[in-house]
A and B are shown apart, each in its own frame.
Chain A
């Protein structure tokens, strides 16, 4: 009786991915968590335990900025959930309509911004919305609504929402594609059976399609959550590291960047920066766990 031979090929095939992933993801992640426990005192790195976190949450200079960034981050996320995902679902529903002409064209047109660089998106929108050269004021003027125009990116009360909507414009193609794919997997027979029972049009969408794509919507929500709480690029490219005006667009990513790398005369503090990065990691971890254990396991799935 032969013992089963050790299957070396599994190790060999796994090795490249594991090594690369460990080197560029796992090691930096744990090193960041470790770095958060140190501080630099008189040119030397000293272990200080949880002191950095104590400062981050209890010292008013830090905690004020932290809660401001976290609050802004939540609003950024809420806008995406309320605008990006419903629009994505609606677009997918329209696109999957069998009698729609030029569906492929619309699909690509809506998806293209997703593959653009955030620098291009940020710059283009900054120009569009510019009160001096932008086309937004003149377009509003053409329809007699000039009074509605404001320098949105420069006003504390609008800047964050404006940026969130720019981000929605850029990424709405992702939920659209995922939902579109989910809608295509719904078999015709199910819909036909519904039609025989008199469920057509809108009610077919609400009663048949939506329950079937709910798991996909769940996945999209969690992707949006992770993406938004890691966001940094668009805000940095449009508003800079100080996330103006008056920190009204400061999210955790920009706060971390500013602290870690320094800004203008502010010298970088890798240890406090790591503490903020660790807090971001914890927030995302908790959010994902709530979703995985609290929501996904309770979601009803249908065998198609």
Chain B
């Protein structure tokens, strides 16, 4: 499959290269999304080329695991494409610092994005923006509608209702209340801690305060989510300690579990696998009527190679990526990867629609550990994985975990010292 994609990429490069007219400008896009090759070739690029005669675009992806290394060596050798797909945070910041990515802060189209959306591709002080945000993934819970009807449980909105629902499924005994394992560790942090956490630390407010050093990981706002995670343990399936990520996905899509703590990237896979109706609910709030916060994590952006020979054409493309037209094509072709522009996008997939509707009701934030805070040793993101697992298994108390994480962060992060 991968080879076929690569072959197609090579073949299409050759074709477009020979077919291009002399006056046409050709832009090459570097990307790790080789899964999306057909989407780019059949939908995105034709739409752009139709609107911008004279500019040809080639999408030339490499394998996700090799992308960073391939891109770095191409950039150093001066052979990289004109447009560069950006990983979020430090990986792209390093490229900008090394002078490989151009500053796009003065591009008009950047006004189409919120500050949170842009934060993944900005210098630490926010003065320079070097990638146009393309898509984010939203956290929440996907549930089995049939199971909810069968057991007679209402979709929970508050934490009390959430645990009541879990208790009802446990008492019923036909379903595993929640499908999650701790073997691979990251689910506990990503779909656990960073899923429910924003309601405790009030999204951006708490995240920014942590970066500024005004809040500490030992504060209630950051320890309470661990206390809640500690209550999840009894509702996970037997032997969840050795349950892996694919195990959890299969348990849910086979209809054996009622609730799945999710990221929206699961939507495409789940739609294909599950033969029951699914719904989604956002992380429950403490009390009915509280402001809700969701993790709307910036995942993919696109920037301009500072050494490109066609900066004007590249900027035209980037402006188009920032437009509602692109957002509509991209968002519908990849349900679960949500365009980040301020103008709302009409999505067709019901589950994706459910997820994206929360943007209107709640405040968006990104995962707490991703910006700046995971730069040093010990690595806060890795430690959060371990801490979330320890909380769920009950091997450490939430207070101990908070203290341990805070000590680790304070070792290298000055504002926290």
A residues at B contact (CB < 8 Å): 43, 61-62, 126, 129-133, 137, 150-156, 239-240, 242, 244-247, 263-267, 269
Contact = CB atoms under 8 A, between A and B. Distances in A.
A266 B182 contact: no
Contacts, number: 94
Interface residues of B, number: 36
A115 to B, nearest CB: 26
B240 A154 contact: yes
Given A245-B182, A265-B370, 4 more contacts: A131-B238, A242-B382, A245-B393, A266-B377
Contacts of A43: 98
B241 A264 contact: no
B116 interface: no
Contacts of A265: 89-90, 369-370, 374, 379, 381-382
Nearest to A241: B382
Given A151-B242, A265-B369, A265-B382, A133 B247 contact: yes
A11 B239 CA distance: 61
B183 interface: yes
Contacts of B89: 265
B241 A266 contact: no
Nearest to B386: A246
A152 B389 CA distance: 16
A43 B242 CA distance: 41
B378 A154 contact: no
Interface in B371-408: 374-375, 377-379, 381-382, 385-386, 389-390, 393, 395, 408
B184 A132 contact: no
A197 to B, nearest CB: 55
Contact of A151 (B239, B251, B381, B382): B239
A68 B169 CA distance: 40
B388 to A, nearest CB: 11
Contacts of A154: 181-183, 239-243
A57 B395 CA distance: 27
Nearest to A239: B183
Contacts of B251: 132
B381 A266 contact: yes
B241 A155 contact: yes
A247 B379 CA distance: 14
B242 A61 contact: no
A61 B386 contact: no
